[in-house]
Amino acid sequence: MFDAKLRPVIDPILNAQGRRLARLGVTADQITLLGLALGLLAALMIGCGAPGWALLPLLASRLADGLDGAVARATGRLSDFGGYLDIVCDFVVYGAVPLGFVALAPQENGLAGAFLLSSFYANGASFLGYAVLAEKREMTTSARGVKTLYFTGGLLEGAETITLFVLLCRWPGALGACVSSRPCRGSCWRHGCFATNARLPRLSQR
């Protein structure tokens, strides 16, 4: 919901840092893989009982997720493989973090974690399905920055997901109560289902 609004604020900062990293010879794919490693480390730390400390690699992972595209733009090397690697690594991290909370407290977080992962699964299907149709019809937008693939917006996007993860790291016992609440359940599913359905008429008209 807020990603497009945040772009004008964060993109100039990310692009400046991306140019510096590019001058040092750092590649976008290296940053993407670093972000994956940091995200998995955060999930491991959560599962091992250190969710507070996991905030450090988690936030660093998401910073890397913003910088890889900035480096690619700075070098002029926006590639299909880079876009594929980026989205796969994002999905792995977004799935690993809830799994870490389930491992931390299986009895308390098992059902809530399963629901969160199933909503990510459904939203991912919507996300990638729309991206395929958008590519087929040559639909592009710069609202969320220049991308290798284009996808739907929704109520829960990257900024909201990371905010949720940060709050859960600070208060790990809140996962069950948060995900079990009706507003949260509705938001998780509306992100994938309603956001895509709202765009489908536009696709069919082209």
| Domain boundaries defined on the chain | 3-204
Q: 77-81, 111-115, 147-151 — which one is most confidently predicted on average?
A: 111-115
Segment 127-153 shows an average pLDDT of: 66
Which CATH architecture describes the domain 3-204?
Up-down Bundle (1.20)
The interaxial angle of helices 158-170 and 3-23, nearest 10 deg, is 90
Per-residue pLDDT at 77 exceeds 60: yes
> What pTM was computed for the model?
0.77
Per-residue pLDDT at 39 exceeds 60: yes
pLDDT of the residue at 61: 96
pLDDT band at 58, cuts 50/70/90? very high
Per-residue pLDDT at 201 exceeds 50: no
pLDDT of the residue at 10: 79
Per-residue pLDDT at 150 exceeds 70: no
pLDDT band at 78, cuts 50/70/90? confident
Per-residue pLDDT at 161 exceeds 60: yes
* Cβ–Cβ under 8 Å, residues 71 and 22: yes
Sign of CA dihedral 101, 106, 109, 113: positive
For the chain, give the mean pLDDT: 80
Cα-Cα-Cα-Cα torsion 104, 106, 112, 115, nearest 10 degrees, comes to 110
Q: Which of 141, 130, 203, 126 shows the shortest CA–CA distance to 3?
A: 141
